[in-house]
Structure 1
């Protein structure tokens, strides 16, 4: 058999973290990145560091065994498309070279042990490429042996620091007896605060508009909050409530919080203690979950065409290309729904803040499901979008897009958006506007509509056309009358004049 050709548009990033080793494999396709493989193994390398920062042979062995698995997958990827980075534990270990030399033989590839500052900047880049924040953003990543704290704007990290504390090292230090009590928690929080206090005043005076967590700890807390029917934003009150709930289990072995996965259980409490200290010391009000981190940052750095690009546009354009969406119709519905939104925005102020970009995104993507079949295409659209990563959109924005895509045609349910909690009202507004815009665009032609006016009076909408236009267009009149009944069924008033 001849040698297999490496796949030119496939990239791999390996991140040798202090808690887990990760391999991310992605394909550059339709102007975006498609993840085609992820392998993660808990190696807990940092647990092998002693007081003199010597890495134990057992910990090295766990790492080498994991890399032997990764090596098998790398052989089909061009060498220049592979980047391997190592972080805090291999920065700290005095015998890191012993590990690195054998690891490079196993992988057949060079390992870059990156500085804490470079790690912080790269994490920020990963977040910037997968979320959409126009202002200043605080990004926190709690790793196994270090915690990165960054303030950035756009794609640039402005303040960045790698702090010497992590969920594995703090587990070994403050929860070694595996007991869950106030004493252990408070010792860990106090120690973390001493580390953070050194940077706190600089960071607080720099300021930020939005805070994002890029670590497994933040994701684990979100999953616990979802299991308790709370919204997904972290606050100090919620963190302290989870700390108190954890203490009731008495030991880490017994810890069984609803929503907490088994693989996070061991390092969860030490990560939670560090996060509480960060919230207290930096006076963080609310925090969401970031879409990417170190691996994504490395990946986006490797591919030149992704540098400094409008992320949301890249996501939407990529999906439209992949699912062969009729671009003219998508833009027609987007323009019309934006026009309607502007007419009612004084009454429906929610649209002003976050609604317009979401409305436009849904309008451009609403026909993705047509690639499968027409009859229930809105359900196919919703299914595809729900199961697709959407860089540039937060988790809650992603949920609003999916809910609206599913409800943009056919039957509406009363209280159908209640499960979205604080986002239900915005989703209702966006859905009502997109439904009207889709009907008005049904001829799939430009310049076929007269001047029309949409007025909002509280929750009631009134649509009127000039010069009795509807009388000459009975199909459109009939579709709009049916829509009026649908909206009435959901408890909303829509009058067509």
Structure 2
């Protein structure tokens, strides 16, 4: 073995059968994801990412340079140390576009596998697209046709699927590293450079457009670092998380103003993404223009998650959001019977208001149901501020099945399900209207109070009506006199809502 290749890892000696690792040898970066299966869900216990820029070492003859291979080997030596404590059968390592293209790939793989002590599987472009789609499907909730796009270092995968089934997929030879070298090699961020890169991407896309646009989709998600970087920029600049063509072109103009690659400074752009962001942005603009994409959000998973869930058949729940909520309920010892009682009451109240109040936008009813099931998430910590603790847990947890904005709304609902109402938290919602958040909060609060005795037979038959934003809660005649504690709680709730500027009347 060459002298500059790091030493081989020792064999795994651990019996920790519930720990898994996936390594993705990408064309721009190498990633390692480590998880532990806890309570019917996966808990991330480690992420390691190193920018290797393997694609930059691929010459016109598709020969990978020794320097690029060495960068890769040095990175894998870091990963190898973490793999020593994981059962071999729980480790998967995949190589993507650059390793598919390199004619001398066997040289790289020979030493890479020696360093890691595990086999490396170089997957085809179509297989990569399929796995990326499954990673998205296992971490996000969507019942409609979904367009998934992943811009890598040397390839871009495009998939249309429904549920867990990819319907049409393609892998194209264009990526943020290869386009950087081809169209931004002079280090200039000019309109000419951007337009040339965009035109090249559109030309690459042209052959696949009829089949993809003919099949159609209702939801578009991005699973790449470029899409993540773009979303972070939008949020940092005071916008919501939806990426549109207009916003992409506006960010491109901000980049052009910077003039040079080494002077690129955009509010919200992480330093580690700066080098390949312009080329990724050009490809993303071409995708939006060619495919007619109206809006795109960021997926919660991609290639690594697709590989991971293929090892975990017991977690391949068709309803991703249900799996996430069920796992939280188990891990934080939520009283499931009572949680369902509150969720049923919230649903009943929402149905009574639905003719007058629009609650279906942004999957409002689904998020109301989730918040009801999780409203006591923080009780495991302590009672007095359990609504704050629950909101903190939601805000800082990985929640497959929920977008970032949906997670924010879920957090706001749990935080505001009792006691003083935090209007500032409601106003910070990025994807949905303040009005919808207010309406869902009011329904959840009433459902919690009405279910306070934690017995189904103690639930009153109530009627909730609305006129504008005024709510009237009607209870059976004499019921409040027979239940003085409930009366006190409901009267206190009237005060809470009035303090927030919301009118609630008891009858």
Q: Normalised by the size of structure 2, how large is the TM-score?
A: 0.96
The C-alpha deviation readout for 1:449-480, integer Å capped at 9, x for no partner, is 23210001111111001222111111111111
SS of structure 2 residue aligned to 1:320? helix
Within the candidate set 469, 481, 486, 1:459 is matched to: 469
Q: 2-side partners of 1:422 and 1:40: how far apart?
A: 30
Within the candidate set 133, 136, 139, 2:148 is matched to: 139
Within the candidate set 482, 485, 489, 1:475 is matched to: 485
Question: Which residue number in structure 1 is paired with residue 5 of structure 2?
Answer: none
SS of structure 2 residue aligned to 1:130? coil
Q: 1-side partners of 2:336 and 2:317: how far apart?
A: 24
Q: Do the aligned partners of 2:13 and 2:86 also contact (CA within 8 Å) in 1? A: no
The offset of 1:422, in angstroms, is: 4.7
Question: Which residue number in structure 1 is paired with residue 41 of structure 2?
Answer: 32
Structure 2 unaligned blocks of 5 or more: 1-11
Q: Do the aligned partners of 2:359 and 2:365 also contact (CA within 8 Å) in 1? A: no
SS of structure 1 residue aligned to 2:333? coil
SS of structure 2 residue aligned to 1:248? helix
Within the candidate set 221, 224, 243, 1:212 is matched to: 221
Q: Do the aligned partners of 1:131 and 1:291 also contact (CA within 8 Å) in 2? A: yes
SS of structure 2 residue aligned to 1:455? strand
Q: Do the aligned partners of 1:86 and 1:113 also contact (CA within 8 Å) in 2? A: yes
Within the candidate set 430, 437, 444, 2:447 is matched to: 437
Q: 1-side partners of 2:423 and 2:106: how far apart?
A: 64
The offset of 1:339, in angstroms, is: 0.6
Q: Do the aligned partners of 1:415 and 1:490 also contact (CA within 8 Å) in 2? A: no
Within the candidate set 288, 301, 304, 2:313 is matched to: 304
Of 463-472 and 153-162, deviating more is 463-472
User: Where in structure 2 are the equivalents of 1:110-125 lying within 5 Å?
Assistant: 110-125=119-134
The offset of 1:5, in angstroms, is: 3.0
User: Where in structure 2 are the equivalents of 1:88-107 lying within 5 Å?
Assistant: 88-107=97-116
The offset of 1:425, in angstroms, is: 1.9
Q: 2-side partners of 1:27 and 1:232: how far apart?
A: 29
Within the candidate set 53, 58, 68, 1:49 is matched to: 58
Question: Which residue number in structure 2 is paired with residue 385 of structure 1?
Answer: 394
Are residues 353 and 227 of structure 1, via their aligned partners in 2, closer, same or farther at CA, if it must alter by over 3 Å?
Answer: closer
Q: 2-side partners of 1:415 and 1:97: how far apart?
A: 57
SS of structure 1 residue aligned to 2:161? strand
Residue 196 (structure 2) pairs with residue 187 (structure 1): yes
Q: 2-side partners of 1:303 and 1:416: how far apart?
A: 37
Within the candidate set 328, 332, 348, 1:339 is matched to: 348
The C-alpha deviation readout for 1:328-351, integer Å capped at 9, x for no partner, is 111111111111011001111134
Q: After the TM superposition, list the runs of 4 or more consecutive aligned residues in structure 1 that deviate by more than 6 angstroms.
A: none
Q: 2-side partners of 1:416 and 1:21: how far apart?
A: 37
Q: Do the aligned partners of 1:133 and 1:154 also contact (CA within 8 Å) in 2? A: yes
> How many residues were matched structurally?
495
Q: Normalised by the size of structure 1, how large is the TM-score?
A: 0.98
SS of structure 2 residue aligned to 1:467? coil
The offset of 1:415, in angstroms, is: 5.5
Q: Do the aligned partners of 1:414 and 1:489 also contact (CA within 8 Å) in 2? A: no
SS of structure 2 residue aligned to 1:131? coil
Of 288-297 and 222-231, deviating more is 222-231
Question: Which residue number in structure 1 is paired with residue 367 of structure 2?
Answer: 358
Q: CA RMSD in A?
A: 1.1
Within the candidate set 211, 214, 217, 1:202 is matched to: 211
Residue 506 (structure 2) pairs with residue 490 (structure 1): no
The C-alpha deviation readout for 1:365-391, integer Å capped at 9, x for no partner, is 111111010011100000111000110
Q: 2-side partners of 1:412 and 1:103: how far apart?
A: 56
Residue 168 (structure 2) pairs with residue 159 (structure 1): yes
SS of structure 1 residue aligned to 2:207? helix
Q: 2-side partners of 1:477 and 1:76: how far apart?
A: 58
Residue 448 (structure 2) pairs with residue 448 (structure 1): no
Question: Which residue number in structure 2 is paired with residue 60 of structure 1?
Answer: 69
